[in-house]
Structure 1
Amino acid sequence: MKGTPIGVVGDAPAGMTLSEFVNQVEFKLDTKARVLACGPEEAGRVAIVSGFGADETAVAKSQGADTFLTGETSHAHFWAASDLNLNVVYAGHYATETVGLKALGQHLTEKFNLKIQFLDFPTDM
């Protein structure tokens, strides 16, 4: 539905560097991220859009983000990040989208005592 938020914005722990943030993302999502370090050294305010969120780069910056975490990009989005002085972390389409499904499964298990099985078919994308 038009106007419905598709991402979130929050603050990294005070003083957390971009490198430390990327290390946490890679560890938590069990993935290897690509990084455009076009912004400040600290991760600061972080915007997140899972999957292919690169089209939301300018929106992330307009929300005060210093760092934008998303799944994948295209070549053209490099210049947007550079022009906006925005760090962008690309952690993979699959890795950034499945984390929500896993959390939903855990929630349903806890709330309704359901047995949930997550079918993991990683694509390295």
Structure 2
Amino acid sequence: MQRLQFQHLLNELLQPERIKDYCPNGLQVQGNNQVSKIITGVTASQALLDAAVAKGADTIIVHHGYFWKNEPYCITGMKYNRIKTLLDNDINLFAYHLPLDIHEELGNNVQLAKLLNINITGPLELGNPVSVSIQGELDDEMTGEALNTLISEKLNRQSLHISAGSNKPIKTIAWCTGGGQGYIELAAEQGIDAFITGEVSEQTTHIAKEMDIHFFAAGHHATERYGAKALAQYLASTEGLEVEFIDIDNPV
């Protein structure tokens, strides 16, 4: 498939124009005109680039790419090494940040819900069709300890659990993969029992206890593995492309 055709396919699928983001979405670094061997991953780290080179890939698709808002413009140091690797090996780099979080089928949020058997009921940001946080319900109530065990087992990473002030049972849940801890107050204001995200801040402990909501920090990387993996599976099954998801582990 030609690069331009592939770029159009990805943009039609992920619709980056739907949401304002902190970085450019789509083709970030141009490479080979032909797309035939694709690697997907969470972050365009040097380790992922090196793995793609070793596998003879001509295209990489990631959730975390380059050129973030407020980062230095100069291509030096680590950024130089990464971009040089792409250019020297004629590899295309595509990145989709928030569009890969919110996609209704392949997105990180939806994929996490499937993994944890949460029934999606709607956006957390009520009235916002492109909400980056969503909410849902469990089939049966769970204790905070039981849900923490489930999250840790499913993500293969020990989750941090801050129990609600009353340590109430959990039926309703809101979540935002990655660095979404700022949404905990919105979830608590709506009377939701628990909030799941990837990261935690100092104030999160006080909010959870004082607003009586369970909080789970399951890892930024760990909660965002599944969108890039689902995208790889989708492209392979629907387009017949050679696509492989590579997980470069990150404890954060």
Rounded to whole Å, the distance in 1 between the matches of 2:138 and 2:167 is 13
Q: Give the share of equivalent positions with the same residue, in percent.
A: 27
Match of 1:61 in 2: 188
Alignment-mate amino acid for residue 246 of structure 2: L
- Asked if structure 2 preserves the Cα contact closer than 8 Å seen for 1:70 and 1:96, the reply is yes
Residue segments in structure 1 that go unaligned for 5+ positions in a row: none
Does the aligned pair in 2 maintain the 1:37–1:86 contact within 8 Å? yes
- Measured in 1, the distance between the counterparts of 2:190 and 2:246 equals 34
Residues 55, 112 of structure 1: alpha-carbon distance in 2 compared, 3 angstrom cutoff: same
Residue aligning to 2:175 = 48
For structure 2, the 5+ residue unaligned runs are 1-18, 21-127
| Cα offsets for 1:6-46 (capped at 9, x unmatched) | 02211122132222222221122111100001154422101
Are residues 23 and 115 of structure 1, via their aligned partners in 2, closer, same or farther at CA, if it must alter by over 3 Å? farther
Matched, 1:23 2:149: yes
Cα distance in 2 for residues equivalent to 1:40 and 1:114? 48
Q: Which residue of 1 aligns with 2:92?
A: none
Q: Which has the higher contact order (CA 8 A, sep 6+)?
A: 1
The alignment's C-alpha RMSD in Å is 1.8
Taking the aligned partners of 1:32 and 1:93, their CA distance within structure 2 comes to 12
> Equivalent of 1:94, from 203, 209, 221?
221
TM-score of the superposed pair, with normalisation by structure 1: 0.87
Amino acid at match of 1:23: T
Contact preservation (8 Å) 1:9, 1:63 = no
Aligned residue number for residue 200 of structure 2: 73
Q: Which amino acid aligns with 2:148?
A: V
Larger radius of gyration: 2
